[in-house]
A = this chain, B = another copy of it.
Amino acid sequence: MLEDKTLLMEMLRRMIRIRLFEERVIQLVERGEIVGAAHSYIGEEAVAVGACLALRDDDWMTGNHRSHGHPIAKGGDVKKAMAELLGKSTGFCKGKGGSMHLADFSVGILGESGILGSSIPTAVGAALGSVLQGNDRVAVPFFGDGASNEGAFHESVNLAAIWKLPVVFLCENNQYAVSSSFKKMVASENISDRSAAYNIPGVLVDGQDVIAMYEAVSEAVARARAGQGPSLIEGRTYRYYDHSLGLGRIVRAPYRDDEEVEQWKQRDPISIHKERLLAQGIATQEEIDSMEAEVLAEIDDAVEFARQSPYPEPEALFEDMFANPIPLE
């Protein structure tokens, strides 16, 4: 049984940080302060947090369009994240990326990609870099159940498997791709079953249990660092909100019933972890309350910082295209 209190508390802190960040994002979208598409990670916090806490700061990670949970879990600065969502020059990407393209290379966040499956090969390449550079940095691409049907998934897992690259393929199976149930779209029963096609370990994990996620990913990371190659981990989870907030592909038709949503909310990852910490006497209610207060203050600061930050100057339009710039018009 995991007993490291600092770690257990950090799990809770990061999950709460994502939850409160996302709740604020919903408000900002409704107020029109955040434009474009924004995909809520609420309900899935344990997956990214459990996985990222099994990594070192210098390990690599790539993500997808559901893009706020991964960077926060990996230790990204919420100020810069919020500023990016508001399109400000102080954001991770100077306002050029926005919600779907958060990235912070300084803490190993190689970027969130809006195109499904697109960032999986990137992670494989980062892991190839570790091998060529003779270090033991691991790469974790996050992708959804829907994206596991993209050709990039197949090619990337096979490539990592034959080259024994230090990759942990992390499928966040929240059971739907927009309105499409994975039961209809994925031919295998579990996505983790697909590991058989590549002779690598495939593990189905309770994605609502941050400790289960942490332990499964830790084992895969150990394998990877030891040069034993990649693993495929499926975190079975659920998104509480609609596919996308604001713009994007909103689907109203009842592709899932409220009952199902309610049942899953009964297994809220944050409540589960909280109750466990209390039950096991690892944390007191006071500690948890003050932690929540601290994180709430962080998020308030982040929003304040984002709001106060300037928009990029028009000149920025032609900047950052090339390391060695050329005339552009």
A contact residues vs B (CB 8 Å cutoff): 149-155, 157-158, 161-162, 184-189, 193-194, 196-200
Contacts and interface: CB of A to CB of B under 8 A. Distances in A.
Contacts of A193: 196-197
Contact of A185 (B162, B184, B189): B162
Contact of A186 (B162, B189, B196): B162
Contacts of A149: 154-155, 158
A325 B186 CA distance: 41
Contact of A188 (B150, B185, B197): B197
Contacts of A196: 188, 193-194, 196-197
A188 B184 contact: no
A185 B198 CA distance: 11
A195 to B, nearest CB: 8
How many copies make up the complex? Answer: 2
Smallest CB-CB A-B distances: 8 pairs: A151-B151, A154-B154, A161-B187, A187-B198, A196-B196, A197-B197, A194-B197, A158-B187
Contact of A151 (B152, B186, B189): B152
A150 B155 contact: yes
Contacts of A188: 196-199
Nearest to A161: B187
A162 B188 CA distance: 9
A166 to B, nearest CB: 15
Contacts of A200: 187
Contacts of A154: 149, 151, 153-155
Given A188-B199, A197-B197, 20 more contacts: A149-B155, A150-B151, A150-B155, A151-B151, A151-B153, A153-B154, A154-B154, A154-B155, A158-B187, A161-B187, A162-B185, A162-B186, A187-B198, A187-B200, A188-B196, A188-B197, A188-B198, A194-B196, A196-B196, A196-B197
B161 A151 contact: no
A12 to B, nearest CB: 36
A294 to B, nearest CB: 45
26 contacts: A149-B154, A149-B155, A150-B151, A150-B155, A151-B152, A151-B153, A151-B154, A154-B154, A157-B187, A158-B186, A158-B187, A162-B186, A162-B187, A187-B197, A187-B198, A187-B199, A187-B200, A188-B196, A188-B197, A188-B198, A188-B199, A193-B196, A194-B196, A194-B197, A196-B196, A196-B197
